[in-house]
Structure 1
C-alpha cells in the first residue's frame, strides 16, 4: 500500500539520540522532525524537541498537547528501544512492548504511517534460553516479537524494519554509542580475546547504521507501507573467521601485537571454561563475558538471514566487500576513540 506523503512532512521520531535514530535524523534535513526524547535533548535545524515518556499515557503530555501533536504529525518513525541483554525484564517490556503500543496508538490517532524498527533476530526462534549466564537475549527478542505482532494485527499503515547487528557509519565508522560487536572487536584489538565462542564458518551478520537509516528514510519518502524489510548482510555476511582476520590485519598494521583467538563451542564454555575461569571473575567482567556469549549465540545458525532492504527505492545492496570495509572502518573508529591507535599513525 502507498500513502501520499507531503514534500516536507512533519515526522515524529523516537529514539533520536540512539544509533539508528541519530542516523535517521541526519537524513531528514528537508523535514520538520519532532524528536520525542525522555532524557537527552536533541537539537538541529528544523528539529523540535519534545520531552516525553513512551511508557506513560499520552507520552506524559497533557491531553491538549498530545492532541495538538497528533494533528501536526504526518509520519511516525519508531526507533526507541531497550536492546541490552542484561536489562531487567520489566523495564525491557515497558519500553519495547508498552511503549511501542503507545506509539502505535499515536500513529492511529494521527492517521500517520508508522515505520517501526525491530530486529532481524526475531527469527531466532531456536535460541537456547539457558547457559548464557545473566544475559537474557530472549527477553529482548520476545519483546520485539510482541511489538511486531501488535503492529501487524492493528490495521495501521506500517512497515517493519528488521536490521541485524548495527555497526558504525560505513565510511567513517562513527557511531553514537558502541555496541556489543564493538566490545568483541575491541577485546580482539587489545589482545584480550583468547577465545571466541563461535564456529569459524558461522556468519556474523551486521549492517552499517547509514544503510539502516537510508532504508527508513527511503520508505518515508516513498510512502510505501505494509512491508517487512530485512536489513541484513544475508549470504554476504562475513564468517567469524573472516572477522577475526580483519581485526588482526588492522591491529598488526598499526603495530599491535595480537594473538589469534581460539574458536570454541558454547558447550565447552558451559562445561569447562565457566566453572574454572569465568565464575571466579569480578561481577563486571562476568557480565561482559555473558553479554558476549549472548551475542555470539544469536549468530549460531546454519541458515543466513533473509535480505530484502534493496527493494526500497534508491537503496543499493551492499556487497561482501562493502560489509568488510564497513567493519574495518568501525574497528578503526573504535581503536581511535579508545586510544589503541594514535591519529598520527592513521594519517601516516
Structure 2
C-alpha cells in the first residue's frame, strides 16, 4: 500500500483505521480529507503521526474542494481510498443527508476514478440499506424495491448504488451492523445505538425494570475493533473485489436478551415485567419525554427489526485472514463499564431534541 486516502477523519472508525494501518504499514503515505470545521481537532489528533498529511476539503464539492497542487500530489501517491465520511444521525434532515451521503459519495467516486494508481476503493455503507425488508438479507442484494425507515438509510442506499455502478474501479463495499465500542477497552466516541438502552435504564434504575415488548427480533451489534480488522482484511483480499459484505454478528442475540444482558451489567438486576412498545413509542414522540429519557424515537425501529443479515460471504473471506466477530456476551461488560465511566461526558452524549 503506497498511499492511502481516508475521508471521515477525525471520526471514530476513521481514526481507528488510521491507527491500525499505520501500525501495519510503516512506509505508507496517508492523506486525510478533513472538513474545515473539523480541522483543528484533526490536527491535534494527528500531531506527531508519521507519514500523515491533512487536507482541508469538502466532499460535497467537486474535486473535494482541493486545489490543483493538492490534487496532483494525491494522484501521484494514492493507491487505496477508504470513504467513511457520512451523516450517520438517524434523525438527519433529508437535504443534509442527500448532500453528504449521496453528492459526497458521487464526488469521492469521481476522485477515485481519477487516481491512476488505484488498487482498491473501500466504501463504508451500512447493513441497513435493506430498509424495511424482513427475512434473510443477502450480501449480493441491494435494490429490492424496499422502503426506508429514515433519510439516513435511503441516502446510504442511493450512495451504495453509485459505488456498485462504477466501471473499471476495484471496489469493496462494507456494510456494518450497529457499531459499538472496542470489545476489550469499551472505548467509543458517542453513546448512540445500544447506548440509548443504557441511558433509558439509567432513568429507571430505582423502579422495577420493564422489557420493551416481547419481540423476538434480532439486534445486530458489532464492536469497532472487529470492523477495523475485518475491513483491512477485506481491503487486501482479491476475493473481496467488487463485492459487498455484511460486517454483522453471525450469531446475533434477540433484542430482548441483549436488553436483559445490558440491564444486568448496568444495574445489577434484570427486567421483571413488560411494557407495550407502542406506549414507549408514543412517549418518545413527545419531546419532553425524549429529553427526559435521552433517547431518539428513531432508535426503537432497530430493536424490533426482523431482518436477518446473512454474512456468509464475509465469514468465508475473513476466515482466511483469521478474523472473526466476538460474541456480545464476552464484551458487554467492557461496553457497560466504559459507559458508566464516561456517561456524563458531554462530548459523548447525543443531544436529543
TM-score range, shorter chain: 0.7 to 0.9
* 1:103-252 superposed matches below 5 A: 103-111=108-116, 112=118, 113-126=120-133, 137-155=149-167, 156-191=169-204, 197-222=212-237, 224-234=240-250, 236-252=251-267
Q: Which of 302, 311, 314 matches 1:298?
A: 302
How big is the shift at 1:14? Answer: 0.8
Closer, same or farther: CA 56–302 of 1 in aligned 2, 3 Å: closer
Any stretches of 5+ residues in structure 2 without a counterpart? Answer: 135-147, 346-353
Question: 1:124·1:298 contact (CA, 8 Å) conserved in 2?
Answer: no
How big is the shift at 1:262? Answer: 5.0
Question: 2:59·2:107 contact (CA, 8 Å) conserved in 1?
Answer: yes
Q: What CA RMSD, in Å, does the superposition of the two structures yield over aligned residues?
A: 2.7
Closer, same or farther: CA 259–211 of 1 in aligned 2, 3 Å: closer
Alignment match, 1:344: none
What secondary structure does 1:16 align onto?
A: coil
Equivalent-residue separation in structure 2 for 1:45 and 1:328 (angstroms) = 34
Equivalent-residue separation in structure 1 for 2:323 and 2:128 (angstroms) = 22
**Could you state the TM-score of these two structures normalised by the residue count of structure 1?**
0.80
Instruction: Count residues in correspondence.
Output: 311
Q: Which of 92, 95, 101 matches 1:90?
A: 95
Any stretches of 5+ residues in structure 1 without a counterpart? Answer: 1-7, 128-135, 341-348
How big is the shift at 1:338? Answer: 2.2
Question: 1:198·1:296 contact (CA, 8 Å) conserved in 2?
Answer: no
What secondary structure does 1:98 align onto?
A: helix
**Farther off after superposition, 157-166 or 224-233:** 224-233
How big is the shift at 1:317? Answer: 2.6
Q: Which of 2, 6, 17 matches 2:10?
A: 17
How big is the shift at 1:265? Answer: 4.7
Closer, same or farther: CA 199–33 of 1 in aligned 2, 3 Å: farther
**Could you state the TM-score of these two structures normalised by the residue count of structure 2?**
0.79
Equivalent-residue separation in structure 1 for 2:245 and 2:235 (angstroms) = 13
Question: 2:264·2:270 contact (CA, 8 Å) conserved in 1?
Answer: no
What secondary structure does 2:260 align onto?
A: helix
Equivalent-residue separation in structure 2 for 1:280 and 1:179 (angstroms) = 18
What secondary structure does 2:172 align onto?
A: strand
Alignment match, 2:350: none
Question: 1:186·1:334 contact (CA, 8 Å) conserved in 2?
Answer: no
How big is the shift at 1:63? Answer: 2.6
Displaced runs of 4+ in structure 1, greater than 6 A? none
How big is the shift at 1:158? Answer: 0.5
Alignment match, 1:130: none
Equivalent-residue separation in structure 2 for 1:217 and 1:197 (angstroms) = 37
What secondary structure does 1:170 align onto?
A: coil
Equivalent-residue separation in structure 1 for 2:340 and 2:110 (angstroms) = 43
Alignment match, 2:314: 309
Deviations 1:308-348 (A, max 9, x none): 432234243335xx2222233111101111269xxxxxxxx
- The answer to whether 1:35 aligns with 2:7 is no
How big is the shift at 1:263? Answer: 4.3
Question: 1:246·1:328 contact (CA, 8 Å) conserved in 2?
Answer: no
Question: 2:197·2:259 contact (CA, 8 Å) conserved in 1?
Answer: no
Question: 2:260·2:270 contact (CA, 8 Å) conserved in 1?
Answer: no
What secondary structure does 2:226 align onto?
A: helix
Closer, same or farther: CA 201–163 of 1 in aligned 2, 3 Å: same
Equivalent-residue separation in structure 2 for 1:36 and 1:198 (angstroms) = 44
**Farther off after superposition, 69-78 or 244-253:** 244-253
